[in-house]
Every structure is written in structure tokens, then in C-alpha cells.
Amino acid sequence: MPNQRLTLANINQQNQQFWLEQSELLRRRIQDTTLRDIAMADLSAKAAMMVPVRSRKSLEQALSHTEKSLSIFQRNFSRKGGKAAKIDGLQGVILEIVRDTPHINTQRLLQKIRKMAKGGHPVVLKVDQKCELLVDQTEQIHFKNGEMEKTARVSGMKDRLSRAKKILSR
């Protein structure tokens, strides 16, 4: 249309086309109850804060902003949906121990894991001793997760134990 001469007829036609599209968009957005409710809550909040009418959003603007916000929310929510929590090698060993002795405490669990490491367990490789470490180092459990060697803090054992008990109680 840039090459067309601007005549009143062309301007009226463009205007009519624009408002037909906007009317359809408004109708579709209002029919979406979630979108409508959030937009109305936004408008009501502005009214409750006594924002001058000339500074408030129009219904169309509120619906448009709400639609964009919902789109962002849904996109980010969907990304999280595909990520299931995976159990690493150490957590698998802890689950086995808790299955055998359900009322085990953190100290007994750590003793069993140390015993496994000394016995050449295929997953639990080594548990650091406090006397071997420097002052600023923390005790770690060295284990295999698939083909990779990983470490976990000994201080995190109580969380791993409670997670295992929670999984088994389901």
C-alpha cells in the first residue's frame, strides 16, 4: 500500500479493516475466562488505588498485557514440565539401605556407607575422614553416577535420607 495514493476511501478501508481485526481480537480475549478475570482484577486494582481515569489502561490494553503475561508464564511453566527429578547413584544406594532398614538414622546410614566404601562398593568409592581434611574443607562422599565420578557433602545426608524415606512411604 505504500505506493497507493492516500485517498479518503483508502484510509476508510484501512481503518475499517483495522477495527474489524481489533473487534475480533477483543471478542476472543473476553471469551477466555482466565484472561478476562485477570485483566478485570488488574483494572479493579488500579481503580482501588484511585489512579486517575486518564492514566488507567483500557480494557483492550489490560487484555493484551494479560495475554502476553500468560503466554510467558505458560512457556516457562512448560519448560519445567519436561524435567523429572532423577535419582543419582548415591541416592539409589540410600534407597536400597532404607528399604532394608526403614527406621535408620543419619549416623547409621553414614556408617553403612563408609563400610560400603571400604568394602569396594561399585557406586560408593570413598568417604572423606575429618582428620584427612584441611580446616576449610567439608567431608565428601565420592561416588559413581553412571560413568561419572561425583561428590556429595556428608552434611547433606540427612536430606537424602528424608527424601528416600518419603519416596518409599508413597
pTM summary value: 0.51
pLDDT in tens, 28-57: 999 999 999 999 999 999 999 999 999 999
Rounded-to-integer distance, Cα 147 and Cα 123, Å: 10
Rounded-to-integer distance, Cα 51 and Cα 45, Å: 9
Q: Return all residues near 140 (Cβ < 8 A) that are at least 6 apart.
A: 127, 128, 151, 152, 153, 154
The packing angle between helices 157-169 and 89-100, to 10°, is 60
pLDDT in tens, 82-140: 666 678 999 999 999 999 999 999 999 999 999 999 999 999 999 988 776 676 678 89
Question: What is the structure's pLDDT at 92?
Answer: 94
Average confidence score pLDDT of the chain: 89
